[in-house]
Structure 1
Amino acid sequence: MTVENKLVLLGTLDKKFYLNLNSETLLDVKTYNSPVIYDLGFQPKTITAGSGSFGTVFLVKENATGDKRICKIISKGKALIPHAQIEAEINAMKMLKHPNILRIHDIYEDLNNIYLILDYCSGGELYQRLNNVQKRGMVFSETRVRLLMRQILSALAYMHANNILHKDLKPENIMFVDSSIRDHLVIIDFGLSEIFEKSQTISHHAGGTVLYMAPEVFSRKLSFKSDVWSAGCIMFLLLTGYLPFSGRTITEVNEAVNNSNPKYQTRCTHCK
Structure 2
Amino acid sequence: MSCSFGRQLGHGVDGVVRLCTDISSGQQYACKSVSKNNPDAVRHIHTEISILQKLQGHPNIISFHGHFEDEECIHMLMEMCEGGNLSEYLQQKGPLPEVEAALAMATIIQAVLFCHERGIMHRDLKLDNILLPHKIYSYMELKLADFGTAADFSRCRIFEEAEGTPWYLAPELLAGSYDEKVDVWSLGVLLHILLCGYPPFDGESASEIFEAIRKGKLDLKGDPWPSISAEAKSLVKGMLQRNPFRRIKLRELSTHPWMQRFVVAGKETWANSQVLSTVVVGG
Do they fold alike, i.e. is TM over 0.5? yes
* Aligned equivalent of 2:33: 73
Structure 2 counterpart of 1:54: 15
Equivalent residue for 1:19?
none
1:188: which partner in 2? 145
| Paired residues of 1:121 and 1:177 also in contact (CA < 8 A) | yes
Per-residue CA deviations over 1:220-240 (Å, capped at 9, x if unaligned) read 112111011011101011111
Q: Specify which structure has the higher proportion of strand.
A: 1
SS at the partner of 1:216? helix
Cα distance, 1:62 vs structure 2? 7.3
Change over 3 Å in CA distance of 1:59–1:143 after alignment to 2: same
* Kept after mapping to 1: 8 A contact 2:19/2:28: no
Residues 1:43 and 2:2 are matched in the alignment = no
**1:122-137 correspondence to structure 2 within 5 Å:** 122-134=82-94
Q: Does the 8 Å contact 1:62/1:68 carry over to 2?
A: no
> Number of residue pairs matched?
226
Partner amino acid, structure 2, of 1:44: Q
Alignment correspondent of 2:185: 229
Query: Do structure 1's residue 252 and structure 2's residue 216 form an aligned pair?
Result: no
Shift of 1:189: 1.2
1:92 aligns with 2:48: no
**Aligned counterparts of 1:263 and 1:128: Cα–Cα separation in 2:** 25
The one-letter code matched in structure 2 to 1:125 is: N
Residue type at the aligned position of 1:109: E
The 5 A counterparts of 1:100-115 are 100-115=60-75
Give the 5 Å matches for 1:152-191. 152-183=108-139, 184-191=141-148
Q: Quick one: distance in 2 between partners of 1:232 and 1:153?
A: 11
Q: CA RMSD in A?
A: 2.2
Q: 1 or 2 for the larger relative contact order (CA 8 Å, sep ≥6)? A: 2
Q: CA 1:74 to 1:241, structure 2 compared with 1: closer, same or farther past 3 Å?
A: same
Q: CA deviation at 1:161?
A: 1.3
Alpha-carbon distance in 2 for matches of 1:239, 1:46: 26
- Which position in structure 1 is the counterpart of 2:253? none
Do residues 208 (structure 1) and 164 (structure 2) align? Answer: yes
Displacement after TM superposition at 1:163 (Å): 1.4
User: Are 2:59 and 2:143, in contact at CA under 8 Å, matched by a contact in 1?
Assistant: yes
Distance (Å, rounded) in 1 between the aligned partners of 2:121 and 2:206: 22
Partners of 1:246 and 1:62 lie apart in 2 by 46
The gaps in structure 1 that reach 5 residues or longer are: 1-7, 11-39
Quick check: 2:47–2:149 contact (8 Å CA) kept in 1? no
Percent identical among aligned pairs is 28
Q: How far apart, CA to CA, are the structure 2 residues paired with 1:58 and 1:9?
A: 14
Q: 2:97 aligns with which of 141, 146, 156?
A: 141
Distance (whole Å) between structure 2 residues aligned to residue 82 and residue 43 of structure 1? 21
Deviation readout 1:124-180 (Å, 9 max, x if unpaired): 11001111112xxxx211111111001111111111111112111111111111121
